Structure 1
Amino acid sequence: MPTDAPQPTIVLIRPQMGENVGAAARAMWNFGLDRMRIVAPRDGWPNPAAVAMASGAGRILDEAEVSTDVADGIADRTYVYATTARPRELTKPVFSPEAAMKDAAARIARGEKVAVMFGPERSGMENADIAHANAIITVPVNPEFPSLNLAQCVLLVGYEWRRAVGEVVDVVVQGQTVEPADQRDIEALARHYEDRLDDAGFFYPDHKADSMKVNLRNLWSRMPMTRADVQMLHGMLRQLLRGKT
Protein backbone atom coordinates (compact mmCIF):
# COMPACT_ATOMS: atom_id res chain seq x y z
CA MET A 1 0.00 0.00 0.00
CA PRO A 2 1.15 3.60 -0.59
CA THR A 3 2.57 5.45 2.40
CA ASP A 4 0.37 7.88 4.29
CA ALA A 5 2.86 10.73 3.86
CA PRO A 6 1.28 13.72 2.07
CA GLN A 7 3.01 14.08 -1.28
CA PRO A 8 2.54 14.99 -4.94
CA THR A 9 1.47 12.36 -7.44
CA ILE A 10 3.99 11.68 -10.21
CA VAL A 11 2.29 11.38 -13.62
CA LEU A 12 4.25 9.98 -16.57
CA ILE A 13 2.71 11.04 -19.87
CA ARG A 14 3.08 8.50 -22.72
CA PRO A 15 6.40 7.02 -21.53
CA GLN A 16 8.16 5.21 -24.36
CA MET A 17 10.38 2.67 -22.62
CA GLY A 18 9.65 0.40 -19.70
CA GLU A 19 13.22 0.84 -18.48
CA ASN A 20 12.65 4.56 -18.04
CA VAL A 21 9.44 3.99 -16.09
CA GLY A 22 11.30 1.60 -13.79
CA ALA A 23 14.14 4.07 -13.33
CA ALA A 24 11.60 6.80 -12.55
CA ALA A 25 10.03 4.57 -9.89
CA ARG A 26 13.44 4.03 -8.35
CA ALA A 27 14.10 7.78 -8.37
CA MET A 28 10.74 8.40 -6.70
CA TRP A 29 11.36 5.93 -3.91
CA ASN A 30 14.83 7.39 -3.30
CA PHE A 31 12.99 10.43 -1.95
CA GLY A 32 9.96 8.77 -0.37
CA LEU A 33 7.50 9.31 -3.23
CA ASP A 34 5.35 6.31 -4.09
CA ARG A 35 2.29 7.54 -6.01
CA MET A 36 2.78 7.01 -9.71
CA ARG A 37 0.30 7.34 -12.54
CA ILE A 38 1.05 6.35 -16.11
CA VAL A 39 -0.83 7.81 -19.07
CA ALA A 40 -0.95 5.80 -22.31
CA PRO A 41 2.39 3.95 -22.04
CA ARG A 42 3.68 3.20 -25.54
CA ASP A 43 4.57 -0.44 -24.85
CA GLY A 44 1.53 -1.25 -22.73
CA TRP A 45 1.31 -2.14 -19.07
CA PRO A 46 2.51 -4.00 -17.05
CA ASN A 47 6.00 -3.96 -18.52
CA PRO A 48 8.67 -6.52 -17.45
CA ALA A 49 11.49 -4.14 -18.44
CA ALA A 50 10.16 -1.57 -15.97
CA VAL A 51 10.14 -4.11 -13.15
CA ALA A 52 13.73 -5.16 -13.88
CA MET A 53 14.94 -1.56 -13.84
CA ALA A 54 13.04 -0.55 -10.69
CA SER A 55 15.53 -2.47 -8.52
CA GLY A 56 13.74 -2.50 -5.18
CA ALA A 57 11.01 -0.02 -6.07
CA GLY A 58 8.77 -2.56 -7.79
CA ARG A 59 5.93 -1.89 -5.37
CA ILE A 60 5.48 1.53 -6.91
CA LEU A 61 4.98 -0.08 -10.31
CA ASP A 62 2.58 -2.67 -8.88
CA GLU A 63 0.43 0.11 -7.42
CA ALA A 64 0.74 2.53 -10.35
CA GLU A 65 -2.55 3.74 -11.82
CA VAL A 66 -2.85 3.62 -15.60
CA SER A 67 -4.98 6.04 -17.63
CA THR A 68 -5.68 6.40 -21.33
CA ASP A 69 -5.39 10.20 -21.53
CA VAL A 70 -4.07 13.18 -19.61
CA ALA A 71 -7.45 14.50 -18.53
CA ASP A 72 -8.29 11.17 -16.91
CA GLY A 73 -4.85 10.85 -15.30
CA ILE A 74 -5.17 14.11 -13.39
CA ALA A 75 -8.97 14.31 -13.04
CA ASP A 76 -8.99 14.25 -9.22
CA ARG A 77 -6.03 16.61 -8.73
CA THR A 78 -6.58 20.24 -7.72
CA TYR A 79 -3.24 21.67 -8.85
CA VAL A 80 -0.95 20.30 -11.56
CA TYR A 81 2.61 21.18 -12.61
CA ALA A 82 4.01 20.25 -16.03
CA THR A 83 7.77 19.81 -16.42
CA THR A 84 9.30 21.10 -19.64
CA ALA A 85 12.72 22.32 -20.76
CA ARG A 86 11.44 24.24 -23.79
CA PRO A 87 9.87 27.72 -23.71
CA ARG A 88 6.13 27.56 -24.30
CA GLU A 89 3.76 30.18 -25.66
CA LEU A 90 1.16 29.21 -23.10
CA THR A 91 0.63 31.82 -20.37
CA LYS A 92 1.29 30.09 -17.05
CA PRO A 93 3.41 30.61 -13.92
CA VAL A 94 6.87 29.14 -14.49
CA PHE A 95 8.62 27.72 -11.41
CA SER A 96 12.10 26.44 -10.79
CA PRO A 97 12.02 22.91 -9.32
CA GLU A 98 12.89 24.31 -5.88
CA ALA A 99 10.17 26.95 -5.92
CA ALA A 100 7.64 24.50 -7.35
CA MET A 101 8.12 21.96 -4.61
CA LYS A 102 7.92 24.64 -1.92
CA ASP A 103 4.66 25.76 -3.49
CA ALA A 104 3.48 22.15 -3.72
CA ALA A 105 4.30 21.52 -0.06
CA ALA A 106 2.27 24.56 0.97
CA ARG A 107 -0.67 23.50 -1.18
CA ILE A 108 -0.63 19.93 0.11
CA ALA A 109 -0.47 21.22 3.69
CA ARG A 110 -3.70 23.12 2.93
CA GLY A 111 -5.34 19.93 1.75
CA GLU A 112 -4.90 20.31 -1.99
CA LYS A 113 -4.18 17.34 -4.24
CA VAL A 114 -1.08 18.01 -6.33
CA ALA A 115 0.38 16.26 -9.36
CA VAL A 116 3.58 16.73 -11.37
CA MET A 117 3.49 15.64 -15.02
CA PHE A 118 6.52 14.42 -16.97
CA GLY A 119 6.46 14.02 -20.73
CA PRO A 120 7.67 11.27 -23.07
CA GLU A 121 11.39 10.81 -23.43
CA ARG A 122 11.87 11.80 -27.06
CA SER A 123 10.11 15.15 -27.27
CA GLY A 124 8.44 15.93 -23.97
CA MET A 125 4.84 16.98 -23.57
CA GLU A 126 2.85 18.66 -26.29
CA ASN A 127 1.16 22.00 -25.68
CA ALA A 128 -2.17 20.16 -25.58
CA ASP A 129 -0.85 18.20 -22.56
CA ILE A 130 0.57 21.26 -20.83
CA ALA A 131 -2.69 23.12 -21.31
CA HIS A 132 -4.13 20.84 -18.60
CA ALA A 133 -1.55 22.07 -16.07
CA ASN A 134 -1.84 25.04 -13.75
CA ALA A 135 1.89 25.83 -13.81
CA ILE A 136 5.15 24.88 -15.48
CA ILE A 137 8.38 23.63 -13.91
CA THR A 138 11.51 24.44 -15.90
CA VAL A 139 14.97 23.20 -14.96
CA PRO A 140 17.82 25.69 -15.54
CA VAL A 141 19.79 23.39 -17.82
CA ASN A 142 22.40 24.09 -20.49
CA PRO A 143 20.41 25.75 -23.31
CA GLU A 144 22.59 23.97 -25.86
CA PHE A 145 21.62 20.58 -24.41
CA PRO A 146 18.34 20.95 -22.50
CA SER A 147 17.05 17.37 -22.73
CA LEU A 148 16.85 15.48 -19.45
CA ASN A 149 16.32 11.76 -19.10
CA LEU A 150 12.88 11.00 -17.60
CA ALA A 151 14.29 9.44 -14.43
CA GLN A 152 16.76 12.31 -14.02
CA CYS A 153 13.95 14.81 -14.10
CA VAL A 154 11.86 12.80 -11.63
CA LEU A 155 14.91 12.49 -9.36
CA LEU A 156 15.51 16.23 -9.42
CA VAL A 157 11.90 17.02 -8.51
CA GLY A 158 11.93 14.33 -5.82
CA TYR A 159 15.04 15.83 -4.26
CA GLU A 160 13.49 19.29 -4.19
CA TRP A 161 10.35 17.83 -2.64
CA ARG A 162 12.44 16.29 0.11
CA ARG A 163 14.11 19.65 0.73
CA ALA A 164 10.78 21.45 0.74
CA VAL A 165 9.34 19.28 3.50
CA GLY A 166 12.36 19.83 5.71
CA GLU A 167 13.93 16.40 5.53
CA VAL A 168 17.32 17.51 4.19
CA VAL A 169 20.04 18.77 6.54
CA ASP A 170 22.39 21.10 4.68
CA VAL A 171 25.51 20.34 6.74
CA VAL A 172 26.20 17.57 9.22
CA VAL A 173 29.38 16.25 10.81
CA GLN A 174 29.55 12.47 10.79
CA GLY A 175 31.98 10.01 12.28
CA GLN A 176 32.58 7.81 15.27
CA THR A 177 33.40 10.67 17.65
CA VAL A 178 31.68 13.92 16.71
CA GLU A 179 31.02 15.49 20.12
CA PRO A 180 32.14 19.11 19.68
CA ALA A 181 34.91 20.45 21.85
CA ASP A 182 33.73 23.04 24.37
CA GLN A 183 35.58 26.20 25.34
CA ARG A 184 37.22 24.45 28.30
CA ASP A 185 38.74 21.91 25.89
CA ILE A 186 39.97 24.63 23.54
CA GLU A 187 41.44 26.68 26.41
CA ALA A 188 43.39 23.69 27.72
CA LEU A 189 44.73 22.93 24.26
CA ALA A 190 45.72 26.55 23.68
CA ARG A 191 47.57 26.71 27.01
CA HIS A 192 49.33 23.41 26.33
CA TYR A 193 50.69 24.61 22.98
CA GLU A 194 51.41 28.13 24.20
CA ASP A 195 53.40 26.89 27.20
CA ARG A 196 55.43 24.39 25.22
CA LEU A 197 56.10 26.86 22.41
CA ASP A 198 57.12 29.42 25.00
CA ASP A 199 59.59 26.92 26.46
CA ALA A 200 60.98 26.34 22.98
CA GLY A 201 61.52 30.06 22.37
CA PHE A 202 58.93 30.25 19.60
CA PHE A 203 57.51 33.61 20.67
CA TYR A 204 60.40 35.76 19.47
CA PRO A 205 61.20 38.60 19.44
CA ASP A 206 59.71 39.61 22.77
CA HIS A 207 57.84 42.66 21.50
CA LYS A 208 55.86 40.43 19.10
CA ALA A 209 55.13 37.67 21.61
CA ASP A 210 51.72 38.97 22.71
CA SER A 211 50.39 39.37 19.17
CA MET A 212 51.72 35.94 18.20
CA LYS A 213 49.88 34.37 21.14
CA VAL A 214 46.67 36.18 20.18
CA ASN A 215 47.00 34.86 16.61
CA LEU A 216 47.57 31.34 17.91
CA ARG A 217 44.47 31.56 20.12
CA ASN A 218 42.50 32.86 17.16
CA LEU A 219 43.64 29.89 15.07
CA TRP A 220 42.28 27.43 17.63
CA SER A 221 38.95 29.26 17.87
CA ARG A 222 38.46 29.17 14.09
CA MET A 223 38.82 25.41 13.93
CA PRO A 224 35.56 23.44 14.37
CA MET A 225 37.13 20.72 16.50
CA THR A 226 35.63 17.70 18.20
CA ARG A 227 36.79 16.50 21.60
CA ALA A 228 38.61 13.66 19.82
CA ASP A 229 40.48 16.23 17.69
CA VAL A 230 41.60 18.07 20.83
CA GLN A 231 42.80 14.86 22.47
CA MET A 232 44.75 13.92 19.36
CA LEU A 233 46.45 17.33 19.19
CA HIS A 234 47.44 17.06 22.87
CA GLY A 235 48.87 13.61 22.19
CA MET A 236 50.77 14.76 19.10
CA LEU A 237 52.49 17.52 21.06
CA ARG A 238 53.35 15.23 23.97
CA GLN A 239 54.83 12.69 21.57
CA LEU A 240 56.91 15.31 19.77
CA LEU A 241 58.34 16.52 23.07
CA ARG A 242 58.96 13.07 24.55
CA GLY A 243 62.67 12.71 25.30
CA LYS A 244 63.33 16.36 24.45
CA THR A 245 63.11 17.64 28.04
Structure 2
Amino acid sequence: MKSLYLCYFGLREPLVQTQVLPYLRQIGFGGVDTSLLTFEPRMRSCWSRGEIEDWSSRLSSERIRWFSLPYHKRPTLPATLYDIARGALLASRIARSQGLDVLHARGHVPAAMGLLAKRVSGGRLIFDIRGFMPEEYVDAGLWPSGGALYRWTKAVERRLLAGADGFVVLTERARQILFPDSSDTDPRCRPIEVIPCCVDSERFEDAAAVSKEEVRKHLGLAGRRVYVYVGA
Protein backbone atom coordinates (compact mmCIF):
# COMPACT_ATOMS: atom_id res chain seq x y z
CA MET A 1 0.00 0.00 0.00
CA LYS A 2 1.15 3.54 -0.77
CA SER A 3 -0.08 6.55 1.19
CA LEU A 4 0.42 10.31 1.33
CA TYR A 5 -0.07 12.11 4.65
CA LEU A 6 -1.22 15.72 4.21
CA CYS A 7 -0.34 18.06 7.07
CA TYR A 8 -0.85 21.85 7.25
CA PHE A 9 2.06 22.38 9.65
CA GLY A 10 5.82 22.68 9.30
CA LEU A 11 8.04 19.63 9.66
CA ARG A 12 10.08 21.01 12.57
CA GLU A 13 7.08 22.23 14.56
CA PRO A 14 6.62 20.35 17.87
CA LEU A 15 3.19 19.09 16.84
CA VAL A 16 4.61 17.31 13.78
CA GLN A 17 7.57 15.96 15.71
CA THR A 18 5.37 14.49 18.45
CA GLN A 19 2.01 13.78 16.79
CA VAL A 20 2.78 13.04 13.14
CA LEU A 21 6.21 11.49 12.67
CA PRO A 22 5.82 8.81 15.40
CA TYR A 23 2.70 7.50 13.65
CA LEU A 24 4.28 7.61 10.20
CA ARG A 25 7.40 5.79 11.38
CA GLN A 26 5.33 2.92 12.69
CA ILE A 27 3.17 2.87 9.56
CA GLY A 28 6.31 2.78 7.42
CA PHE A 29 7.91 0.00 9.44
CA GLY A 30 4.61 -1.87 9.10
CA GLY A 31 5.14 -2.08 5.36
CA VAL A 32 3.24 0.94 4.04
CA ASP A 33 5.07 3.07 1.48
CA THR A 34 4.65 6.43 3.23
CA SER A 35 4.98 9.99 1.95
CA LEU A 36 4.49 13.24 3.88
CA LEU A 37 3.52 16.70 2.63
CA THR A 38 4.07 19.63 5.01
CA PHE A 39 3.66 23.41 4.69
CA GLU A 40 6.67 25.35 5.90
CA PRO A 41 6.36 28.87 7.36
CA ARG A 42 9.00 31.30 6.07
CA MET A 43 10.50 28.50 4.02
CA ARG A 44 13.03 30.63 2.13
CA SER A 45 14.47 32.24 5.25
CA CYS A 46 14.23 29.30 7.66
CA TRP A 47 15.40 26.43 5.49
CA SER A 48 18.77 26.07 3.79
CA ARG A 49 19.30 23.60 0.98
CA GLY A 50 21.54 21.57 3.28
CA GLU A 51 18.87 21.37 5.98
CA ILE A 52 16.26 20.24 3.47
CA GLU A 53 18.59 17.55 2.15
CA ASP A 54 19.49 16.47 5.70
CA TRP A 55 15.86 16.09 6.77
CA SER A 56 14.93 14.36 3.52
CA SER A 57 17.74 11.85 4.04
CA ARG A 58 16.84 11.35 7.69
CA LEU A 59 13.17 10.70 6.93
CA SER A 60 14.04 8.50 3.97
CA SER A 61 16.03 6.27 6.34
CA GLU A 62 12.79 5.93 8.34
CA ARG A 63 10.86 5.00 5.19
CA ILE A 64 9.15 8.38 4.88
CA ARG A 65 9.34 10.34 1.63
CA TRP A 66 9.05 14.07 2.39
CA PHE A 67 7.54 16.81 0.22
CA SER A 68 7.06 20.44 1.25
CA LEU A 69 5.39 23.65 0.14
CA PRO A 70 5.61 27.20 1.55
CA TYR A 71 2.89 28.14 4.04
CA HIS A 72 1.02 31.40 3.41
CA LYS A 73 -0.63 33.23 6.29
CA ARG A 74 -2.09 36.51 5.00
CA PRO A 75 -4.57 37.57 3.85
CA THR A 76 -6.12 34.71 5.80
CA LEU A 77 -8.82 33.27 3.54
CA PRO A 78 -7.13 33.89 0.15
CA ALA A 79 -3.83 32.55 1.53
CA THR A 80 -5.48 29.37 2.79
CA LEU A 81 -7.36 28.85 -0.47
CA TYR A 82 -4.11 29.32 -2.38
CA ASP A 83 -2.37 26.73 -0.19
CA ILE A 84 -5.28 24.32 -0.68
CA ALA A 85 -4.99 24.66 -4.45
CA ARG A 86 -1.22 24.15 -4.44
CA GLY A 87 -1.47 21.26 -2.02
CA ALA A 88 -4.16 19.56 -4.09
CA LEU A 89 -2.10 20.00 -7.25
CA LEU A 90 1.05 18.54 -5.72
CA ALA A 91 -0.89 15.71 -4.07
CA SER A 92 -2.42 14.86 -7.44
CA ARG A 93 1.00 14.76 -9.06
CA ILE A 94 2.37 12.54 -6.30
CA ALA A 95 -0.67 10.27 -6.53
CA ARG A 96 -0.19 9.81 -10.25
CA SER A 97 3.57 9.37 -10.21
CA GLN A 98 3.61 6.96 -7.26
CA GLY A 99 0.28 5.21 -7.75
CA LEU A 100 -1.04 6.17 -4.32
CA ASP A 101 -3.76 4.09 -2.70
CA VAL A 102 -4.59 6.41 0.21
CA LEU A 103 -4.59 10.16 0.92
CA HIS A 104 -4.51 10.68 4.70
CA ALA A 105 -5.50 14.25 5.60
CA ARG A 106 -4.80 15.65 9.06
CA GLY A 107 -7.57 18.17 9.67
CA HIS A 108 -9.99 20.20 7.58
CA VAL A 109 -7.61 22.17 5.35
CA PRO A 110 -5.58 19.11 4.29
CA ALA A 111 -8.85 17.21 3.80
CA ALA A 112 -9.92 19.85 1.27
CA MET A 113 -6.64 19.27 -0.58
CA GLY A 114 -7.14 15.53 -0.38
CA LEU A 115 -10.70 15.61 -1.67
CA LEU A 116 -9.68 17.69 -4.69
CA ALA A 117 -6.71 15.41 -5.37
CA LYS A 118 -8.90 12.33 -5.03
CA ARG A 119 -11.30 13.65 -7.65
CA VAL A 120 -8.43 14.26 -10.06
CA SER A 121 -6.23 11.23 -9.40
CA GLY A 122 -8.40 8.66 -7.64
CA GLY A 123 -7.50 6.73 -4.52
CA ARG A 124 -9.17 6.76 -1.12
CA LEU A 125 -9.34 9.64 1.35
CA ILE A 126 -8.98 9.30 5.12
CA PHE A 127 -10.31 12.38 6.94
CA ASP A 128 -8.34 12.53 10.20
CA ILE A 129 -10.58 14.86 12.20
CA ARG A 130 -8.46 16.56 14.85
CA GLY A 131 -11.26 18.73 16.21
CA PHE A 132 -14.38 20.72 15.45
CA MET A 133 -12.66 23.47 13.49
CA PRO A 134 -15.60 25.87 12.85
CA GLU A 135 -16.77 25.67 16.46
CA GLU A 136 -13.22 26.09 17.77
CA TYR A 137 -12.78 29.33 15.81
CA VAL A 138 -16.05 30.63 17.26
CA ASP A 139 -15.08 29.59 20.81
CA ALA A 140 -11.73 31.37 20.40
CA GLY A 141 -13.52 34.58 19.40
CA LEU A 142 -12.00 34.57 15.91
CA TRP A 143 -15.32 34.14 14.09
CA PRO A 144 -18.83 35.29 15.06
CA SER A 145 -21.25 32.48 15.71
CA GLY A 146 -23.38 31.98 12.61
CA GLY A 147 -21.21 34.38 10.58
CA ALA A 148 -20.31 33.94 6.92
CA LEU A 149 -16.96 32.23 7.55
CA TYR A 150 -18.53 29.85 10.04
CA ARG A 151 -21.38 28.90 7.71
CA TRP A 152 -19.04 28.53 4.73
CA THR A 153 -16.65 26.30 6.68
CA LYS A 154 -19.52 24.14 7.95
CA ALA A 155 -20.67 23.70 4.35
CA VAL A 156 -17.16 22.65 3.33
CA GLU A 157 -17.01 20.31 6.32
CA ARG A 158 -20.19 18.59 5.16
CA ARG A 159 -18.62 18.09 1.73
CA LEU A 160 -15.51 16.60 3.33
CA LEU A 161 -17.54 14.24 5.49
CA ALA A 162 -19.55 13.17 2.46
CA GLY A 163 -16.52 12.68 0.22
CA ALA A 164 -14.14 10.83 2.54
CA ASP A 165 -13.75 7.05 2.48
CA GLY A 166 -12.81 6.64 6.14
CA PHE A 167 -12.35 8.65 9.31
CA VAL A 168 -10.11 9.03 12.34
CA VAL A 169 -11.36 10.85 15.45
CA LEU A 170 -9.64 11.54 18.77
CA THR A 171 -12.32 10.36 21.20
CA GLU A 172 -15.41 8.20 21.47
CA ARG A 173 -17.40 11.35 22.22
CA ALA A 174 -16.27 12.92 18.94
CA ARG A 175 -17.41 9.81 17.10
CA GLN A 176 -20.83 10.01 18.75
CA ILE A 177 -21.22 13.69 17.81
CA LEU A 178 -20.10 13.29 14.20
CA PHE A 179 -21.61 9.87 13.56
CA PRO A 180 -24.62 9.33 15.85
CA ASP A 181 -25.65 5.71 16.34
CA SER A 182 -22.48 4.50 14.59
CA SER A 183 -19.63 2.45 15.99
CA ASP A 184 -16.90 0.98 13.80
CA THR A 185 -18.55 2.14 10.57
CA ASP A 186 -21.04 4.79 9.50
CA PRO A 187 -24.33 4.04 7.66
CA ARG A 188 -22.35 3.90 4.38
CA CYS A 189 -20.03 1.25 5.86
CA ARG A 190 -17.08 3.66 5.92
CA PRO A 191 -14.63 2.81 8.75
CA ILE A 192 -14.35 5.10 11.79
CA GLU A 193 -11.30 4.71 14.03
CA VAL A 194 -10.77 6.34 17.43
CA ILE A 195 -7.05 7.08 17.79
CA PRO A 196 -6.06 9.38 20.70
CA CYS A 197 -3.01 11.63 20.60
CA CYS A 198 0.20 9.68 21.14
CA VAL A 199 2.84 10.23 23.81
CA ASP A 200 6.48 9.16 23.95
CA SER A 201 6.67 7.80 27.49
CA GLU A 202 10.46 7.35 27.27
CA ARG A 203 10.85 11.12 27.44
CA PHE A 204 9.47 11.06 30.98
CA GLU A 205 11.69 8.31 32.37
CA ASP A 206 14.44 10.74 33.42
CA ALA A 207 11.88 12.90 35.20
CA ALA A 208 10.80 9.93 37.33
CA ALA A 209 14.26 9.84 38.90
CA VAL A 210 13.99 13.42 40.14
CA SER A 211 12.27 14.00 43.46
CA LYS A 212 9.06 15.97 43.09
CA GLU A 213 9.91 17.78 46.29
CA GLU A 214 13.27 18.86 44.88
CA VAL A 215 11.51 20.40 41.91
CA ARG A 216 9.01 22.17 44.17
CA LYS A 217 11.85 23.64 46.25
CA HIS A 218 13.69 24.76 43.11
CA LEU A 219 10.54 26.56 41.94
CA GLY A 220 9.85 28.04 45.36
CA LEU A 221 6.71 25.94 45.72
CA ALA A 222 7.70 23.67 48.60
CA GLY A 223 4.74 22.04 50.30
CA ARG A 224 2.26 23.22 47.69
CA ARG A 225 0.16 21.22 45.27
CA VAL A 226 1.37 21.86 41.72
CA TYR A 227 -0.70 21.42 38.56
CA VAL A 228 1.09 21.29 35.23
CA TYR A 229 -0.62 21.92 31.90
CA VAL A 230 1.19 20.39 28.94
CA GLY A 231 -0.28 20.98 25.51
CA ALA A 232 -0.10 22.72 22.16
TM-score (norm 2): 0.33
TM-score (norm 1): 0.31
Q: Which has the higher helix share?
A: 2
| Bigger Rg over Cα | 1
